[in-house]
Amino acid sequence: MEVLYEICAGLDVHARTVVACLVRQGRKTVRTFGTMTEDLLRLLEWLKAEGCTHVAIESTGVYWKPVFNILEGSIEVMLVNARHVKAVTGKKTDVKDCEWLADLLRHGLLRPSFIPKPSIRALRELTRYRESLVREQTAIGNRIVKLAESG
C-alpha cells in the first residue's frame, strides 16, 4: 500500500492522557503525555523534533479540543470521526488505537472532519455562552415572578 506520509502520528486522547504513536519510516514509537498545557506543549515539541508533518486525532467528546488547539498552528492536524476508524478487533487498548490511527493516516485512508477556523470557533463559543446566560436570566426572572405571585 502506498505511503503518503513518511513521518506522522496518531493520537488517542482521553481526559487525563494522550497516547501518541509516531511512525517514522515504518518504525513506531509510542509515548504517553498528560493533558495539561505543559504536557501538550511537550507533545508538540517531541513531534516537531521528530519531524512529524501530520497528526490524526480521534474525535472523542471534547477532550480533543485542547490538543487540537495546541498542535493546530505547527503541524497539520486531522480530526477524524471515531466511527470511521473503528476496525481494531480483539482487546482494545490505547496503544492499539493510536497505532491504528497512525497507520491509517500514513496511507491516506482517513477523512478529516470539518473544523472551522479559530475566529469562527471563538464566535461560536461566545454565542453559545450568551445563549446560556440568557436562558439563566429568564429562569431567574421566572422564579422571581413565581415568588412574588405566591407571597
Global pTM? 0.78
What's CA 85's distance to the chain center, in Å? 14
Counting the structural domains of the chain, the total is: 2
Statement to judge: residues 102 and 125 lie in one domain: no
CA-based radius of gyration for the chain: 20
1 in a domain, yes or no? no
Statement to judge: residues 127 and 145 lie in one domain: yes
Residue 95 CA to residue 59 CA, distance in Å, equals 16
Q: What are phi and psi of 114, to 5 degrees?
A: -80, 125
- Cell numbers 472551522: residue: 116
CATH of the domain at 27: 3.30.420.10
Q: What are phi and psi of 38, to 5 degrees?
A: -60, -45
Statement to judge: residues 130 and 89 lie in one domain: no
Please write the tens of the pLDDT for every residue from 83-98.
777 765 655 788 888 8
Statement to judge: residues 100 and 122 lie in one domain: no
120: its cell numbers: 469562527
Statement to judge: residues 61 and 14 lie in one domain: yes
Statement to judge: residues 107 and 121 lie in one domain: no
138 in a domain, yes or no? yes
Please write the tens of the pLDDT for every residue from 7-51.
999 999 999 999 999 999 889 999 999 999 999 999 999 999 999
Statement to judge: residues 148 and 102 lie in one domain: no
Please write the tens of the pLDDT for every residue from 100-141.
899 999 999 998 889 999 999 999 999 999 999 999 999 999
Q: What are phi and psi of 31, to 5 degrees?
A: -135, 155
25 in a domain, yes or no? yes
- Cell numbers 493510536: residue: 98
37 in a domain, yes or no? yes
Longest dimension (CA), the chain: 76
144: its cell numbers: 422571581
Range of the domain at 85: 7-114
